[in-house]
Structure 1
Amino acid sequence: MPVKVFISHKKEDAEQASAISAHLIANGLTVYLDVIDAQLGKSGPDLADYIRSQMDKCTQLLAVISPQTQASWWVPWEIGVATEKERFLASFVSGGAAVPEYLVKWPYLRTRADLDIYVRESKRAELLVEDRIQKGYRTAARAQGFRSFHTSLKASLGQP
């Protein structure tokens, strides 16, 4: 499955999420961004099921974290679903927000240059997954790519 990034964000951060989306697309990644999804008129369990189905089509999740995110129910839920599905996970922290304690173990980005590193590491990890699948290691391929992505991205960003 080629790289497809689910961008999780609070509605108030839609402009930031759209800018991130445009940058990722311009650098060769595919993106799911709910701002342009007409199906989001659903509510409650139907909406949750729909979001899960969209996440099933994605290989990773990039959460936009801002001061407004603290008031969100959906962003933490989407992060939880992505973790459960072993999706590659990172955050883009903006607006002077602090990285929430439960996200410190995952890579976090702050700048456009960090996004470029994210794109590079995403492509590299996906090539690793594809290589492992071609060599017959389908079951372990995604998990190995998952670990490799997080380790390499954190190291490239200078994070412990």
Structure 2
Amino acid sequence: MIGKNLANPSIDNNVNKSFNASVQKSQVCIFLSYTSEDRNTVKKIGEYIQDAGFDIYLDIYDESLQRAVSQGDPIAITKNIEKGLSVSTNVFCIVSEKTVGSWWVPYEIGFGKRADKPLATLTLKDTITIPSYLEITRIIRGTRSLNDYLNELSKKSNLLFESASTFIGKNPYSMSQHPLDNYLSWKE
């Protein structure tokens, strides 16, 4: 079972309808928080998470949000970010050295914290420091700990457990070429 991006209108024009169907299936939806400079890397990580069977909310496919960004409308941007966060069960920050300059990532983490959503941070390859506000999240460093995290999430969702376990089993830590090698280290 491959997960879907709830921000993608080609999946379903009504995000809340898709989310409600996911909730009824005990599905996890992971909001991907990131700085725009890391967009291409985040797309690859999002695809990997979807391949493991999880739904994601990756805002680059949210037409309403992209329109608000192009119009420079901070009220609409905020409304759309909050919509994405509210339909997600978990907040997952993908962080690089560039994240320090982001204005929206701290907002997304704060909104998720206030809504009591589980928070996690994945550090990209060669990331040495992370902003202090991310220290309140679960820190994930590397592919191995990402797989462990996804496996833990799958155990909380009955329908996902078999799918994610099978996917992660096919992507062992010792693979000579992992799809995220260019973005993550093998640490932890």
Shorter-chain TM-score bucket reads 0.7 to 0.9
Mapped pair 1:108 → 2:139: yes
Mapped pair 1:60 → 2:90: yes
TM-score by length of 2: 0.64
1:8 to 33, 42, 66: 33
Give matches, 1:146-157, under 5 Å.
Answer: none
Give matches, 1:8-157, under 5 Å.
Answer: 8-40=33-65, 41-42=67-68, 43-94=73-124, 95-126=126-157
Structure 2 regions of 5+ residues with no counterpart?
1-22, 159-186
Kindly indicate whether the alpha-carbon contact (under 8 Å) linking 1:24 and 1:115 is maintained by their aligned counterparts in 2.
no
Root mean square deviation, CA, Å: 1.7
Task: Give the 4+ runs in structure 1 shifted more than 6 A.
Answer: none
Kindly indicate whether the alpha-carbon contact (under 8 Å) linking 2:106 and 2:133 is maintained by their aligned counterparts in 1.
no
**Using the alignment, how far apart are the partners of 1:26 and 1:45 within structure 2?**
33
Q: Secondary structure at the match of 1:115?
A: helix
Q: Secondary structure at the match of 2:88?
A: coil
Q: Deviations over 1:69-101 (max 9, x none)?
A: 111000000000000111111001123231332
Shift of 1:56: 1.0
TM-score by length of 1: 0.74
Determine which structure has the larger helix proportion and give its number: 1
Kindly indicate whether the alpha-carbon contact (under 8 Å) linking 2:90 and 2:117 is maintained by their aligned counterparts in 1.
yes
Amino acid at match of 1:103: L
Q: Secondary structure at the match of 1:58?
A: coil
Shift of 1:105: 3.4
**Using the alignment, how far apart are the partners of 1:44 and 1:100 within structure 2?**
23
**Using the alignment, how far apart are the partners of 1:34 and 1:60 within structure 2?**
15
**Using the alignment, how far apart are the partners of 1:97 and 1:18 within structure 2?**
22
Percent of residue pairs bearing the same amino acid type: 26
Amino acid at match of 1:65: V
